[in-house]
Amino acid sequence: MMPVHANHYGSVHGGMIIKLVDEAAFVAATKHARKNVVMASMDHMVFKHPVKIGDVLNIRARLCYVGRSSMDIEVEVEAEKIKEGRSLKIGSAYLTMVALDDRGKPSGVPKILFKTAEEKSRSTRALARRRQRLSI
């Protein structure tokens, strides 16, 4: 992270990290759907450690659940303190991305087959979060 990403204390703005989380989810969803996608929702994100100028962010996004036109994406953020040779988990978030057709309307996406028990469990948890979110 560079000075332009930070406040006058040298801490990276949370909004900058959230923007990068959104972009990572966008890439994962677009690769799956092969269509334009937009964010429909994002759950909360707790910043467990500050990110400082000079830290390298490692951001991983993966599909957890696929509906008709929506995809739930888990994004994990780590900060690598390169001078210290250690990494810290900064936080994670779940985002719902929706595929769009050429008219900007929700469009179907390919189903996904989860192979491992962990992938299936992750999908089950994502479906439970989705149901909770939609019941509010």
Kindly list the domain boundaries of the chain, sorted by start residue: 3-135
Backbone angles phi, psi at 69, to 5 degrees: -125, -5
Q: Can you name the residues that pair with 42 across neighbouring β-strands?
A: 95
Residues 66, 34: Cα–Cα separation, whole Å: 14
pLDDT tens across the length of the chain (136 residues): 999 999 999 999 999 999 999 999 999 999 999 999 999 999 989 999 999 999 999 999 999 999 999 999 999 999 999 999 999 999 999 999 999 999 999 999 999 988 999 999 999 888 888 888 888 6
Candidates 100, 93, 94; CA nearest to 127 is: 94
Question: CATH says 3-135 is which class?
Answer: alpha beta
